Chains A and B, each alone.
Chain A
């Protein structure tokens, strides 16, 4: 390993304006995202979860179709074909955590903040790039899971068409929900700065509230249940009317509000704390 002594001079200051901008930071974050093997692995697991579990569950339901009219009326072909989304949410959320907490763990965050001393463009750049990347992967995945799932269910005439009211929204909404869970993980990673802590907080937020509310008296728990993160967010994929949960977009809006709160807290802390 021989090193040359002299550093070649860079172009003169006037030739290239080397200012930091949000667009440049977002581009840098895209480079960071695509250049880590763990990104590809996590997104692959996400796709396999969405499509694989959806197909598996559809095959299962076709093998044991609903027997009586009541069970047939309650059968939800969309939910069955998109059943892998809740599992995929864990993979996407954990990847979100890793994107920020991983930088703290390796010390890379200090390099990042030296390059972008105002810091917050780093958080926003990560959020935008990660949300778009998640959508780009998850939207085709939910669509494939739905289409393959319905073709399996059609064998027993249990399927539903993409053109049916609310169905396209459920498919698109599931992908949006996954992107939002990813941002929740990213926000928790930035807020707590430790991978283990943020993953625990993410799983706690996704699954804990339902367990706690289940301990309350029935009327209370029915009232509260709809406002919990996962039931609210998952409402976006709901097509059959259900009095216990919120309407699709207000439920998803509430989930985005929770995510926004976590991101705002993370930003507040990131701008102030020593790195």
Chain B
């Protein structure tokens, strides 16, 4: 369980995190979404006691993280896959970490096996690919068999197999009753992994809801309809609450009406329908919709200021 109350972080005159209040519950995978620069990593660092909040507080399993006497048992964290000394072997990195809490060597070997790094565990971590680095970071997070798992962008640099592996790992961890908090800027990935989503933009809370509910709320379904007379159908359907736009190949995208309503209206007007389908908005669209006002670098991107 993670509980943030009025969590705020100010760097100079910039508010990185602005009055965030949320709770991450055990038993489900909670996704932490936001565009780059939204304050996700800062929030995670505050949860782990690495950065001190300017205002507000955050507790993990009932206490501020710094007050835990057996921290690796409480929280396993992956903040940055490169939080490893490149000259040290993966195994020694994990061993040094385990020793701070008296975790036995056998557990280090188990963690290495669990992430599939047995063959390279004695090699310098500096030679690892991004994906291997992520696996090493996840092994570190799992060392203490923690009640809460916090992973910052865990799928970065992983191949398809690795992404699938992370997905099932997270779901298994949640099924075991652990609190699982995973950040990402990849909405599609979170839609498949997380049951609950906390969305932030420019450091502010935008949404805190179940994944399905959030998609439905932020981007209602669109009906795709293809007919013999698109112009007449568009004129027929268009009203104050209904938006109709061309979807290419002579089809229309209608929002604000159900497939039943579109079908009946067309039938009454004698227009022949060739295709009629409800299209669920993707999480990607829902996310763009939600964070439209909160995307920090949008204006600059449009000017081409960012490469």
Distance A21 CA – B48 CA, assembled complex (angstroms): 19
Report yes or no: B102 in contact with A8, Cβ–Cβ below 8 A. no
B199 within 8 A of A: no
* Per-position 1/0 for B67-102, Cβ under 8 A of A: 111111101010110111111110011011111111
A65 CB within 8 Å of chain B: no
What is the distance, in angstroms, from A32's C-beta to the closest C-beta of chain B?
Answer: 5
- State the Cβ distance, B155 to closest chain A Cβ, in Å: 14
* B140 cross-chain contacts in A, Cβ below 8 A: 111
| B-contacting residues, A192-240, CB 8 Å | none
Give the most central of A17, A36, A102, A114: most B CB within 10 Å: A114
Q: Does A67 make an interface contact (CB < 8 A)?
A: no
Are the C-beta atoms of B116 and A31 separated by less than 8 Å? no
Interface membership of A115, Cβ < 8 A: yes
CB distance from B171 to the nearest CB of A (A): 10
Is there an interface contact between B84 and A106, defined as CB atoms closer than 8 Å? yes
Task: Give complex CA distance A21, B49 in Å.
Answer: 18
The segment out of A22-30, A50-58, A131-139, A245-253 that lies at the interface is A22-30
Min distance, Cβ A83 to any Cβ of chain B, angstroms: 32
B265: Cβ under 8 A from any A Cβ: no
- CB-contact partner of A18 in B49, B110, B144, under 8 A: B144
**Which residue of the partner chain B has the closest CB to A109?**
B83
Does any Cβ of A come within 8 Å of B50's Cβ? yes
Number of B residues with CB within 8 Å of any CB on chain A: 60
Contact B99 A28 (CB under 8 A): yes
Contact B92 A19 (CB under 8 A): no
Residues of B within 8 A of A37 (CB): 87
Contacts of A114 in B (CB 8 A): 48, 50, 71, 75, 77, 79
* Residue from the list A2, A102, A110 in contact with B85, Cβ < 8 A: A102
CB A154 to nearest CB in B, in angstroms, measures 43
A6 vs B172: C-alpha distance when bound (angstroms): 7
Known: A108-B83, A115-B71. A9 touches B99 (CB 8 A): no
Q: How far is the CB of B180 from chain A (nearest CB, A)?
A: 12
CB of A113 closer than 8 Å to a CB of B: yes
Query: Are B107 and A10 touching (Cβ within 8 A)?
Result: yes
User: Could you say which of A16, A115, A274 contacts B97, with CB atoms under 8 Å apart?
Assistant: A115
| Interface presence of B65 (CB below 8 A) | yes
Chain A residues positioned under 8 Å from B115 (CB to CB): 3
A10 to B108, CA, bound (A): 10
B70 touches A18 (CB 8 A): yes
B-facing residues in A75-131 (Cβ within 8 Å): 102-103, 106-108, 110-111, 113-118
The answer on a CB contact under 8 Å between A3 and B114 is: yes
0/1 string, B35-65, CB within 8 A of A gives 1: 0000000000100111110000000000001
**CB atoms of A3 and B135 under 8 A apart:** yes
Q: A108-B83, A115-B71 are in contact. Are A4 and B51 (CB under 8 A)?
A: no
Evaluate whether A116 and B71 lie within 8 angstroms (CB atoms) in the complex, with A6-B172, A106-B82 already known: yes
Find the B residue at minimum CB distance from A28: B99
Q: List 23 A-B contacts (CB under 8 A).
A: A1-B119, A3-B116, A3-B135, A3-B162, A5-B169, A7-B172, A11-B104, A16-B104, A19-B70, A25-B100, A28-B97, A28-B98, A32-B96, A35-B92, A102-B85, A106-B82, A106-B84, A107-B83, A108-B85, A114-B79, A115-B97, A117-B48, A118-B66
Q: Given contact pairs A16-B104, A20-B69, A106-B83, enumerate 7 new A-B contacts (beta carbons under 8 Å).
A: A7-B114, A8-B110, A10-B103, A20-B70, A106-B82, A114-B79, A117-B67
